[in-house]
Amino acid sequence: MLSVILHGCSGHMGHVVASLIRPMADVQIVCGVDRTAPQDDLGFPVFTSLDEVQVSSDVVIDFSTAAAVSPLIRWCVEQKKPVVLCTTGLSDPQKEELVQASKQIPVFFSANMSLGINLLSALASKAAQILSPAGFDIEIEERHHRRKLDAPSGTALMIAEAMTRSLDDGHYIDTGRMDRREARDPRSIGISAVRGGTIVGEHTVLFAGQDELIELKHTALSRDVFAVGAINAARFLANRAPGLYDMNDLLNL
């Protein structure tokens, strides 16, 4: 039985993870941690601080906020606890904290836990290698609900970064053209963000060539896809050696 600490259990994603794990025979949540107490009974004890946690566990699943990630990483290193980080909007210094922590504990981090979006990222990277030299411009459009705090999304940046690595020819990410009046740089990968309503998440990669367009698109119809990915990542991470893992490792992409 895989025992899980759910960090950020009071948020929407925390509730989704808890509801999916509840009927599972091989995974259980031993406690939750959230500075805001949940309004309903989640079926496990909830602490407002990591310092209060005294229960034994195999792994931490995190769906909290960027501000809560650094203290969590320090706690996991101190406790030698593997951690699956699903929180987006991390700063570059925080990402470096993950790299340093992964030298001591197993750390699983992905800007998006969906199997489909990670396959999209791999396909986009392959397409970029073929289409960019042929003169195709690359753009990413992402759409999310009105409550999402970060823009562009961590997933859009993940896809763009994967393509820049695959191209390795001076391509760079451009997240805003509003303050410039100039023609598009063919080496740029533009990202535009839409926020509104209850959109769970949509990401479209557009390859625009001479007289032809190619689009790769992923639409999340519910948040369950992210929770399922996090649970599978927790199964994957248990008993792993220290290191920084992501969905490519889990899916063998």
Q: Which residues are catalytic?
A: 144, 148
For β-strands 172-174 and 188-195, DSSP reports them as: parallel
- Residue showing tokens 């248990």: 238
The CA distance from 34 to 117, in Å, is 28
Q: Backbone phi, then psi, for 245, in 5-degree steps?
A: -115, 160
Could you tell me how far CA 33 lies from the centroid of its own chain?
20
Other beta carbons within 10 Å of 14? 25
Query: Token digits for 73?
Result: 């990483």
- Residue showing tokens 């392959």: 126
Question: What SS3 state is found at 113?
Answer: coil
The arrangement of strands across the sheet holding 46-47 comes to: 46-47, 27-33, 2-7, 59-62, 83-85, 106-109, 243-245
